[in-house]
Amino acid sequence: MILELSIWTHHLNQLIYSYFHFCKTEKIEVKIIRNESVLHNGAILHVSGKTAFFDYSDDPKFIDTPELYNFYFKRSLRIENYKNNVRPLNFNIPMAYKSHLLLMNLQSDFLFDKRNRTEVIRAIDKFSWFTNSSHAVLDVKRYPKKVSDFGGNIIFHTRLWNPDNHNDDEEKERRRSQNDFRINACRILKKTYKNASVGLSADNLSEKLAPDLVLDSKHSNKNKYFNMLRNYNICVADDGLKDTPGWKIGEYLLFGKAVITTPLNIAVDNFNEHINYEKLSSRNAYLELPEKIEYLLEDKKYLKMGESNLVWSENYLHPQNYIKRILSIVENNI
């Protein structure tokens, strides 16, 4: 079983570490090969005489041609494109597994490729001395095995995107709408729930538009954020760039949290409303947040949803099953 890619990007960590986890668990050789023809944020898996392409772009547009492969697995897959040999990758999250050991299993041409330097340094940086995205911080061993009750408290830490940093008028407007939701969602949660932790990452735009919501610098530290996230029950998510889910929702699921989100515009396997998440009616429906939260607080429904999400994430996101699911589809032509 061979995994080919041209450049090691942050978006590919979930696949790379899941592949590595599978190889070590099954005691087979790790074969991660550099192939310059593989497109950016893409990878090709060769197994049982078949090829599977992985498209981790957050854009719903395909980065390659599905017909060239036996299977095409796509992040940010629109429901209407879920057909023929195309399958969803569900949620993409940054994760790692024994990063130092992975480095020892990489071929030298791949390991020392200067384009891979950022992720190699992050894999080496065990104590987060050089980067805020150390792979050690993202190691799957930190995810909980059970759901704990913290009284139904709420967390929503997010960031703003500057419309002026993009030339496209449609994208400018999309960012304004996104920022409007995030600012107002934080404000209504902060006003309504004293046990809510909400706010915006500190930057010039946040200071200008919502100085009352700017988080201190410690909240931008991934390790400290994960330590906080463990101690909350209800998490708010919304679409990221390209109007597709970002990393937060996958993180919430792996931590066994109840989720309230803006409408999901992608295909996600066996991920159901009221079981795995509560859905707002629109991208801008921040006023509905208290109603959704009260529903989850009633009879502590947030605990049942958190337990459902812990099971779902173990089956669909955790590296112990991520590649197994892919292989079951490829080998059985499902």
CATH classification of the domain holding 219: 3.40.50.2000
Please report the pLDDT score of residue 334 as a whole number. 65
Q: In this structure, are 137 and 209 located in the same domain?
A: no
Q: In this structure, are 263 and 299 located in the same domain?
A: yes
Between the alpha carbon of residue 157 and those of residues 194, 207, 288, the distances in Å are 15, 15, 18
Q: In 272-318, where does DSSP find H-type helix?
A: 289-297, 301-316
Residue 83 lies in a domain: yes
Q: In this structure, are 168 and 287 located in the same domain?
A: yes
**Residue 22's domain spans which residues?**
2-143+318-332
Q: In this structure, are 164 and 306 located in the same domain?
A: yes
Q: What is the mean pLDDT of each run of 10 residues along the chain (334 residues)?
A: 98 98 98 98 97 97 98 98 97 96 97 96 91 92 96 98 92 94 98 97 96 89 94 96 90 98 97 98 97 99 99 97 97 81
Between the alpha carbon of residue 98 and those of residues 16, 103, 124, 191, the distances in Å are 12, 9, 10, 42
Choose among 228, 54, 14: nearest CA to 138. 14
Choose among 198, 177, 180, 179: nearest CA to 189. 198
Residue 190 lies in a domain: yes
Q: In this structure, are 201 and 245 located in the same domain?
A: yes
Choose among 297, 322, 260: nearest CA to 25. 322
